[in-house]
Amino acid sequence: MNVTFTTPYFLIIYLLLLGLILGLFLKFDGHKLNEKSLHKQPLFWLSISLPLASFLYFESAVWTDYYFLFNADGYNKFIEISKLPLALLALSIPFVSIVNNVHRTIQTEKQIQAAQEKNKIDSFYSHEKNIVEKINLSTDVNYKIPSVYSRDLKIKINNPYSLYKEIFQNSRPTIGPNYNPSVFFIGYINSRLNLISEEIKKQDESSEHKEPDFDLEIIRIIKILKYSYEILDKLKVNYAFTERFTVNGHNASFTSSIKNDSQLRELLKFTFTLSKHLFDILNVSTEYNIPYIRMFIDMKNIKFTAFENSLGDDFKTGEVKEAIGDSWIDSLEYMSGMGLEAIM
């Protein structure tokens, strides 16, 4: 008895079931592939089971009037009546192949992404290590902290990793190194060096007057110390407490570890040399104009007479403490009867 389709119900039922299965599959994200093994992908099993289920569904319509014969006639008859179901079953081969190729592409992308992330992390730490090593080797500048007890305390950059983060603010392990130093950081150091040079220039120009103005000199010294200490704080240089000296004028005074021109030159030499070495490491071309810093360091024709003519209670000395402080700038104490704007 041959089976014929007199109504479309059989096909409609198939299409409804197919739509229901695919709808549920999409609702629960079964169509999405990830980097896990192929046998853990729902879409892989759907590409096998859907053609198989379609084969069984359509084959059931023609098997009802036949029985199996395991001989040549039986096989020929099976092929003859099962052309459409077998064609549907054969779709599993291209379906699985497509799923496998897409899955392989996703795995390759994940591997490339993982390799890129690892390269970013490796590049970041390699760059950080390289800069830190150069900082430790190239910025080992000697600075003799003044001490009435003849005890020189060596200071240096004590937190190079923090300094690296300050210089390369856009470098992170997750995004890799940014080889361009912070414009703000470089500008900050340059601006302070320029300001120091300007104050020394003013002192040089005022030396032509017969009567020095000790208050103005003290204001200039305070500014020079303030700008120098801001640079050292920015460079993460440890502050070592030593004895402290007070220099007084008529309306201005300051207290610091600097008590004469020689020590001020030593401080500026240390600050300038340290900054220059760091800029060399960063391969930064310095654009600041600081001839007066060099003149003050190398030549002794520019002097601050306020050190030698302090009024009232001259150099107050305190106990020497070989301890690390929080900040250079916090160690500077000053007072000006001329107004705060004269300092800033």
pLDDT of 313-329, one tens digit each? 443 433 333 334 456 55
Question: Can you say how many angstroms the Cα of residue 229 is from the centroid of all Cα atoms in its chain?
Answer: 26
Assess if residue 105 is contained within a domain. Answer: yes
Does residue 102 share a domain with residue 68? yes
- Dist CA 140 CA 133 (whole Å): 11
- Dist CA 214 CA 254 (whole Å): 12
Assess if residue 132 is contained within a domain. Answer: no
Q: Is this structure's pTM higher than 0.85?
A: no
Residue type for position 242: T
Cite the DSSP H helix spans in 209-250: 214-234
CB burial readout 250-289, b (16+ within 10 A) else e: eebbbbbbbbbbebbbbbbbbbbebbebbbebbebeeebe
Tokens at 121, concatenated: 């992390």
Assess if residue 100 is contained within a domain. Answer: yes
Tokens at 57, concatenated: 């569904």
Does residue 167 share a domain with residue 272? yes
pLDDT value of residue 309: 66
- Dist CA 278 CA 231 (whole Å): 12
Tokens at 185, concatenated: 């950081």
- Dist CA 78 CA 89 (whole Å): 14
Mean pLDDT of the chain: 78
Q: What percent of the chain has pLDDT over 90?
A: 14
pLDDT of 341 > 50? The answer is: no
Does residue 278 share a domain with residue 160? yes
Assess if residue 210 is contained within a domain. Answer: yes
Average pLDDT over residues 186-200: 91
pLDDT of 123 > 80? The answer is: yes
pLDDT of 340 > 60? The answer is: no
pLDDT value of residue 152: 55
Does residue 279 share a domain with residue 239? yes
Average pLDDT over residues 107-130: 90
Does residue 86 share a domain with residue 24? yes
- Dist CA 123 CA 119 (whole Å): 6
- Dist CA 274 CA 140 (whole Å): 8
Residue type for position 7: T
pLDDT of 330 > 80? The answer is: no
Q: What is the pLDDT of residues 202-218, one digit of tens each?
A: 888 887 766 778 888 88
Q: What is the pLDDT of residues 26-75, one digit of tens each?
A: 888 877 888 888 888 888 888 888 888 888 888 877 777 777 777 787 77
Residue type for position 16: L
Q: Which residue has the higher pLDDT, 284 or 336?
A: 284
Cite the DSSP H helix spans in 38-91: 42-63, 72-81, 83-90
**Region of poorest pLDDT, from 167-171, 291-295, 310-314:** 310-314
- Dist CA 187 CA 165 (whole Å): 16
The H or E element that residue 239 is part of is strand 239-240
pLDDT band at 144; cut points 50, 70, 90: low
10 Å CB burial of residue 132 (0-12, 13-18, 19+) is: middle
Domain boundary among 56, 79, 113: 113
Does residue 143 share a domain with residue 95? no
pLDDT of 284 > 60? The answer is: yes
Output the CA torsion sign for 37, 42, 47, 51: positive
> Tokens 């739509």 — which residue?
19
Question: What 8-state DSSP symbol labels residue 176?
Answer: B
Average pLDDT over residues 248-261: 78
Assess if residue 134 is contained within a domain. Answer: no
pLDDT value of residue 127: 92
CB burial readout 143-158, b (16+ within 10 A) else e: bebbbeeeeebebbbe
Does residue 145 share a domain with residue 107? no
Residue 174 neighbours by CB distance under 10 Å:
8
Please answer whether residues 191 and 308 qualify as being in contact, where contact means their C-beta atoms are separated by less than 8 angstroms: no
Assess if residue 293 is contained within a domain. Answer: yes
Does residue 297 share a domain with residue 222? yes
- Dist CA 231 CA 132 (whole Å): 18
Assess if residue 307 is contained within a domain. Answer: yes
Please answer whether residues 243 and 319 qualify as being in contact, where contact means their C-beta atoms are separated by less than 8 angstroms: yes
- Dist CA 115 CA 79 (whole Å): 51
* Residue 284, CA distances (Å) to 141, 167, 189, 278, 281 in order: 19, 12, 12, 9, 8
Query: Comparing C-alpha atoms, which of 283, 302, 287, 288 is closest to residue 193?
Result: 288
**Region of poorest pLDDT, from 199-213, 288-302, 304-318:** 304-318
Does residue 152 share a domain with residue 98? no
Q: What percent of the chain has pLDDT over 70?
A: 79
Does residue 163 share a domain with residue 28? no
pLDDT value of residue 286: 65
Domain boundary among 44, 79, 113: 113
pLDDT value of residue 321: 39
Assess if residue 325 is contained within a domain. Answer: yes
Q: What is the pLDDT of residues 152-180, one digit of tens each?
A: 556 678 888 999 999 999 998 888 888 89
Does residue 255 share a domain with residue 175? yes
Domain that holds residue 68: 9-113
Domain boundary among 77, 95, 113: 113
pLDDT of 275 > 70? The answer is: yes
Tokens at 321, concatenated: 């403490």
What is the count of structural domains for the chain? 2
Residue type for position 270: F
pLDDT of 124 > 80? The answer is: yes
pLDDT of 125 > 90? The answer is: yes
Does residue 294 share a domain with residue 186? yes
